[in-house]
Amino acid sequence: MAAEPIILNPIGWGQFRLLGGWRRTLGIAGAYAGGSLLIMILLYRAMRAETTLANFARGSLTFFLLIQSAILVFVGTNAVKRAILRDFTTDMISSHRLTAMSGYTAALGYLTGPTSQCIALTFVNWLICTILAGIAGTPGSITDLLGPTMLFVIMGFLAAFCWSLQVLMALNTRGRISVVGAFVVLGVLSNLDVLWTLPGLALVVPTYLVSTLRRSSSGITPNDLPVITSMAAQLALSFTFFLAAARKYRRDDVAAFSGALGYCLVALCALIAAVGMARVPTPQIPFAPPIFYSNSVHSIATLIALALIAILPVANAARASAEWGRRKVKDAMFKGRRPRSFVEAVAISVILALGILLLVLGKSSLAMIEHRKDMMPHEQMVYCAVAFALSLLTIGGLLRYVYSASGKVGWVIVLYLVFAWCIPMFADFSLDALTNPAAMTESGRSMLFTSSPVGAWIASCTLLEAPVPQGLMIQALLAAGSLWLASRAKR
């Protein structure tokens, strides 16, 4: 893997030249530093009568930290997207693909080149923030000086996460989709604390950082476990996205998460989810609805998220199997190894996702569900696992069938989620409301509710009365139908 510095990386160098090279970068950094200094001096002179220098420096520090996070998350991510979009619209991507550059070199180039000016501004902001921290804190206090540095390191990890995800998304969509919008939504959700329903996600996005900052006036120290865990999760995901982007760069038809990388993503997400549930304490924020902090809600949300992520390796296996079959029919000389069937992919994904969850949670996994009187806790957990496996089998079979005729399967996944996950639950509620409106809130749910994987997880993790085995039988029938469909797939 090429770990070249920016100036040696071809795409990094090319993008840097397109942005104007050293002269433009240093010019922008200098103008930004000068402008910031001038504005601060003018503001301080105007406010001198009302505030002290230390207070003014503290306020300015917060302002520059906000500016910095915007530069890294929004400007940097957008610059990466624009660079890749340009390479697709000018078809320079084909020119790159013909060269001796590996996918790793190209992905590294897209991470470093378009963001070079953001990196320069980050350095300026770090200098400004360090000086401001020195003015604001006790003179000579090492904690005050290290405070901004630590925050910059944290933001650096977040930036690596955003940028690598953007490289991957842009290479997957020919530069059309930006992840900035998703980060805006997540940023808003971070403040609303709703993300605590999914502790793994809260660990990856800056929720922990925001809440830790809220709780602590003295800033973050390297000993703050949630922050360190959050940074490790971001780094691991960034690396996975980077590897996937390097694969996707090779050609548009190459799957980003094929084979082992897809399983790695599932395993990593399961690990992050489990760590989020077990090891990182959920902060008790006043006035936040208790549902955010319920273990069973965490379990249900985590199962939903992991099942959605596990669709990726299952879909890739279905696609590889369909392509292999097609090639075998059309190419007499083809000697490619038969890929793993999607059923094996389902088995591996289930073992990885649920195995890691159980392994990390250990005995505390029993505390993650509400214990029902009509079944043993282990029984509840087995039902969760069965629903997880059946949902993946059903979508895997459908995808294997559709992939044999077409490469476009996004609509199949959407339809499956709507019809198999959502509609049964809503139908059950609607029927209940129509037939027995008065007792609706007290009555249990029918097997229509548990025929949805989400319904089965809700019924297995909470005290809600519902016939889970019957619902699982319906899910098993659906999975069998889907497997039959897959066996009828065209070669």
Partner 1 sequence: MSIVLEAEHVRVEYGSFVALPDFQLSLSAGNLLGLIGPNGAGKTTSLKAIAGLLPMTAGRVRVLGETVEPGNTSALSRIGFAPDTPPMYDEMTVEDFLRFIGRAYRVGREMTEERIDYWLEQLWLSDRRTSKVKALSRGMKQRLTVARTLLPDPALVLLDEPAAGLDPAGRVQFRKMLGSLRDSGKALIVSSHILADLHEYCTHIGIMEGGKLRQLGTVAQVVHSQAENRCLYEITLARMVPDVQTAFGDMVGLTKLDIQGRQISFEYEHDDEAAAAILSKLLAAGLPIARFAPVDHDLEQAYLRTGIKQVD
Residues that bind partner 1 (CB under 8 A): 8, 10-11, 13-14, 17-18, 90-92, 94-103, 247, 250-251, 253-254, 326-327, 330-334
Cα–Cα distance, 110 to 1 (Å, whole number): 15
Nearer to partner 1, 174 or 250 (CB): 250
Residues ≥6 apart with Cβ < 8 Å to 456: 383, 384, 386, 387, 450, 468, 471, 472, 475
Query: Minimal CA–CA distance to 468: which of 479, 477, 459, 476?
Result: 459
Shortest Cβ 98–partner 1 spacing (Å) = 6
Nearer to partner 1, 91 or 442 (CB): 91
Shortest Cβ 117–partner 1 spacing (Å) = 15
Shortest Cβ 35–partner 1 spacing (Å) = 26
Nearer to partner 1, 88 or 293 (CB): 88
Cβ(94)–Cβ(234) below 8 Å: no
Nearer to partner 1, 142 or 332 (CB): 332
Shortest Cβ 475–partner 1 spacing (Å) = 34
Shortest Cβ 18–partner 1 spacing (Å) = 5
Cα–Cα distance, 193 to 115 (Å, whole number): 31
Query: Minimal CA–CA distance to 306: which of 271, 282, 341?
Result: 271
Shortest Cβ 121–partner 1 spacing (Å) = 21
Cβ(58)–Cβ(136) below 8 Å: yes
Tokens of 235: 């780094």
Tokens of 263: 């399983």
Cα–Cα distance, 273 to 143 (Å, whole number): 32
User: For the packed helices 10-18 and 116-136, what is the interaxial angle rounded to 10 degrees?
Assistant: 80
Tokens of 33: 């530093």
Shortest Cβ 20–partner 1 spacing (Å) = 9
Nearer to partner 1, 316 or 460 (CB): 316
Nearer to partner 1, 91 or 374 (CB): 91
Nearer to partner 1, 52 or 90 (CB): 90
Q: What is the dihedral of CA 77, 83, 87, 89, to 10 degrees?
A: 80
